[in-house]
Structure 1
Amino acid sequence: MAIAVLFSLLCLSLSQLLSFQATAQQNPTSGFTAVPLSQSNFELHKPYDKSPSERYSFSNGEQRLWVFATDKPHTTSSDTKPRTEIRIRGYDYSSGVWQFEGQAYVPSGTTGTSIMQVFGGSSRATTIMLRVYTGSLTVYRSPVILSNMYNRWFKVNVIHDVGASNVKVYIDGVLKYEGSGAGGNNHYFKFGVYAQNDESNYMESRWRGIRVLRRN
């Protein structure tokens, strides 16, 4: 009997290990096709009184965006907080299943800022926001989906299923968040830094390998 119990426990442990490995090795882009992107698809939103080079740089495939809490908004008529963001043009959508992919890096000290968002919603302005608070990556204020995230590269995949009103967030290929959408009939992707609450004086994020994909 003891041997049979031990064997059952061993099989269970092996099954759990295989299940964990399968989860850890998910490919969120499976079944999706990348759309063509060029520099013309990247529209920079920055403080209106600053030149692009004062808040943005692009070198060796890396986009670096930064902003100060004391900066002006992106237009003279806006009353929003300061931002330096890339708005992806040419792929606004109102239906289907779409995905944003990119590798992100946030230097220590940056806090109280959105680094990626799916814009558009009826119950709020955005479908989802990924924010940074004191070294943690969060969906809005909570939950935390990545801790100790300063000063290292990590991969971000955000999938928005409009018809199912569903959003998934993968970090380094692992599903970290799944929740409902926010309605709306026009959506697009943005990344960079956009001051939220309790923001630091200086905010920065860096991005590379940006892709937009849609389900086949």
Structure 2
Amino acid sequence: MKVWYYSLLLFVTTLMGCFLVNDAQIDPTFGFVEVMLNETSFEYQKPYDTSLEQRYSYANGTHRFWVYADDKPRNLGSNTQPRTEIRIHPDYTSGIWQFEGMAFVPNGTSGATIVQIHGAAHGNTTILLRIYDGDMRYYSTPVIDTGLYDKWFKVNLIHDVDGGK
């Protein structure tokens, strides 16, 4: 039986900017400008029939989410899977953006999305990183990392919107 209960802990720092890297030795974050996030940067999404406090908490710089297999979707009538998440604003349509954060996924969780970026040229998402049986996968196939249950791990993603990467 799959266990769909999971608690995701995520601390997010968002950086933005543009840079050119001609030398592989250059720090890949060179040229980025930090975007400070505050409460107005976040749009909270949770089951429509549950209060935010029942699925989310924030303490000491850590955002914590709970999702149960029998949770309702975000909107009445939606066919999406259960979720509790934060959508980060502002939306962007060009440039190169970096997203960095720490995540923790408890043992027994399968199918938890760690990072999702919408707005692909073909399809709904540019990237989707999920945990299946303790392994991080790009969508559901290529394995990116293994053995991630019950420990904090860093996610650092650079999204080149104009380059489609």
Count residues with an aligned counterpart: 142
Shift of 1:61: 1.0
Residue identity matched to 1:86: I
| Residue 101 (structure 1) aligns with | 100
* Relative contact order higher in (CA < 8 Å, ≥ 6 apart): 1
TM-score (norm 2): 0.80
Which residue number corresponds to residue 65 of structure 2?
Answer: 65
Q: Which residue of 2 aligns with 1:30?
A: 30
Percent identity of the aligned residues?
A: 52
Q: 2:109 maps to what in 1? A: 110
Compute the displacement of 1:31 (Å): 2.1
Letter matched to residue 145 of structure 2: L
Instruction: Say which SS state the counterpart of residue 82 (structure 1) adopts.
Output: coil
Deviation at 1:139, TM superposition (A): 0.6
Which residue in the other structure is 2:88 paired with? 88
Match of 1:162 in 2: 161
CA distance in 2, matches of 1:73, 1:153: 27
Structure 1 residues 160 and 49 mapped into 2: Cα distance closer, same or farther (>3 Å)?
A: same
Which residue is equivalent to 1:75?
75
For residues 103 and 26 of structure 2, the distance between their equivalents in structure 1, rounded to whole angstroms, comes to: 19
Higher share of residues assigned helix: 1
> How many angstroms does 1:29 deviate by?
2.3
Give 1:131's aligned residue.
Answer: 130
For residues 88 and 103 of structure 1, what CA distance do their matches in structure 2 show?
16
Deviations 1:24-62 (A, max 9, x none): x98542221111210221111000000011111111111
Query: Residues 54 and 95 from structure 1, CA distance in 2 versus in 1: closer, same or farther, beyond 3 angstroms?
Result: same
Q: Detail structure 1 runs of 4+ shifted over 3 Å in the superposition.
A: 25-28
- For the aligned residue pairs, the C-alpha RMSD in angstroms reads 1.7
* 8 A Cα contact 1:28 1:157, kept in partner: no
Alpha-carbon distance in structure 2 between the residues aligned to 1:31 and 1:155: 21
The residue that corresponds to 1:147 in the other structure is 146
Which one-letter code corresponds to 1:81 in the other structure?
Answer: Q
One-letter amino acid matched to 2:105 = V
Aligned-pair CA distance for 1:103 = 1.0
SS in 1 for 2:126: strand
| Partners of 1:28 and 1:144 in 2: CA distance | 23
SS at match of 2:84: strand
Structure 1-normalised TM-score?
Answer: 0.62
Unaligned residue ranges in structure 1 (runs of 5+): 1-22, 167-216
**Structure 2 counterparts to residues 200-215 of structure 1, below 5 A:** none
In the other structure, the counterpart of 1:120 is: 119
Max Rg structure = 1
Q: CA deviation at 1:99?
A: 1.4
